[in-house]
Amino acid sequence: MYGWEMLSFNIHDGFLEAIVRGNRSGLLTASDYNNLCQCENLDDVKMHLTATEYGPYLQNEPSPLHTTTIVEKCTLKLVDEYKHMLCQATEPLSTFLQYITYGHMIDNVVLIVTGTLHERDVNELLEKCHPLGMFDSIASLAVAQNMRELYRLVLVDTPLAPYFSECITSEDLDDMNIEIMRNTLYKAYLEDFYKFCQKLGGATAEIMCDLLSFEADRRAVNITINSIGTELTRDDRRRLYSNFGLLYPYGHEELAVCEDVDQVRGAMEKYPPYQSIFAKISYGESQMLDKAFYEEEVRRLCLSFEQQFHYAVFFAYIRLREQEIRNLMWISECVAQNQKNRVHDSVVFMF
């Protein structure tokens, strides 16, 4: 133990840690995934999921099912579990749990702003927002014309307000500016979450800082690969990387100048934890990189359950559920498209 958590953790947070460890045992196993991978259609998938903890959420859905319906209902289960934990949490756990949702809040803000730019109906956009990232005034985002208005009219009263200081401009919102805004907000959020976890100290700081560093490094790689061949300049790219993580600062300097996937590989292979990730993919290829990163993330998240009396188990459980929902989405898509031979391309098994 790091900071004598064993003496005092259970006073306020022991019950919820027990709840989350119980919820963890409800995650789908390899046997469940094998059954799902052999389904012939989405009704079979629904039938198999009805026998799991997702049963109450899917059993009343009428046929024919769609993959988005499966994802929505499974997400509802995650939201219910999260709200159940949040309403019973005390400080600082309640703040920690809220931090977990700020990423979804940022995605929802960007979704509304982008959709409004494309003259879409706000109600249609609200239906597509992630439920974990909803806040009261989210519908008002549609009236903002630039980032300054976005901040002044809506976001100043939300938890995202402190993250806007680096991206408030009067420039009109266009696709590139929105993308830069998204990544700048996420960078500020990750850094804030990192500092919060460091202040908590103990096992929470140790494990969460490792998980958040991996998240920051993965985002740096994604930004690099996704921006190859686009108008994003090297300086702008460099500014989107977080100021922490294993790759900070020298890895970021190399990633900022990469022009193809092989150069990214060259920069990443200098770091032993990422050598194993890039060893799984062949040269010039980036298609399987997402699965390799997800597998490494799941490995680290599962390891966090090996220790007690820390908050990282809550973060790990939410992330593992999200990975499970991604797995179900992929399996459903492969079944619906009759391409079951591709199902193991992206399914990541846990525990």
Partner 1 sequence: MAAATEEHPGSTGFVPRAAEEVEEVHEANEEERLGRDDDGDEILRFMDSVDGHLLLMDSLSPALRRGWIDLAGARHWIGTSRVSSTLFDHKEQSAATKVQVVDSADLQSSEPNPHFVLSKWHLQEKSNSNDAVSAQDNTKPKLRFRGSTTFPEDGSHEADVAPAESWTGVDTRSHVQRARSKALSVFGALVSPKLRTSQISFETALELIVELANSRSNMLASFFQIKDG
Residues that bind partner 1 in the complex, under the rule CB under 8 A = 68, 71, 107-108, 110-111, 114-115, 118-120, 124-125, 127-130, 175-176, 178-180, 182-183, 223, 225-227, 229-232, 286-287, 290, 326, 329-330, 333-334, 337, 339, 342, 345-346
Count other C-beta atoms under 10 Å from residue 183's C-beta: 25
> In angstroms, rounded to a whole number, what is the distance separating the alpha carbons of residues 301 and 308?
13
Shortest reach from residue 173's CB to partner 1, in Å:
12
Closest C-alpha to 55, from 34, 33, 26, 82: 26
DSSP 174-223: -HHHHHHHHHHHHHHHHHHHHHHHHHH-HHHHHHHHHHHHHHHHHHHHHH
- Which CB atom, from 35 or from 346, has the smaller least distance to partner 1? 346
> In angstroms, rounded to a whole number, what is the distance separating the alpha carbons of residues 251 and 268?
7
Shortest reach from residue 15's CB to partner 1, in Å:
32
Bridge-partner residues for 146, per DSSP? 172
- Which CB atom, from 27 or from 122, has the smaller least distance to partner 1? 122
- Which CB atom, from 120 or from 238, has the smaller least distance to partner 1? 120
Shortest reach from residue 139's CB to partner 1, in Å:
15
Shortest reach from residue 180's CB to partner 1, in Å:
8
> In angstroms, rounded to a whole number, what is the distance separating the alpha carbons of residues 277 and 296?
8
Shortest reach from residue 22's CB to partner 1, in Å:
28
> In angstroms, rounded to a whole number, what is the distance separating the alpha carbons of residues 337 and 6?
51
Shortest reach from residue 311's CB to partner 1, in Å:
25
> In angstroms, rounded to a whole number, what is the distance separating the alpha carbons of residues 62 and 230?
43
- Which CB atom, from 122 or from 303, has the smaller least distance to partner 1? 122
> Six-digit token pair at 165?
């200081």
- Which CB atom, from 248 or from 294, has the smaller least distance to partner 1? 294
- Which CB atom, from 228 or from 246, has the smaller least distance to partner 1? 228
Helix, strand and coil percent figures for the chain, each rounded to 5: 70, 0, 30
- Which CB atom, from 119 or from 136, has the smaller least distance to partner 1? 119
Shortest reach from residue 288's CB to partner 1, in Å:
10
> Six-digit token pair at 85?
């934990």
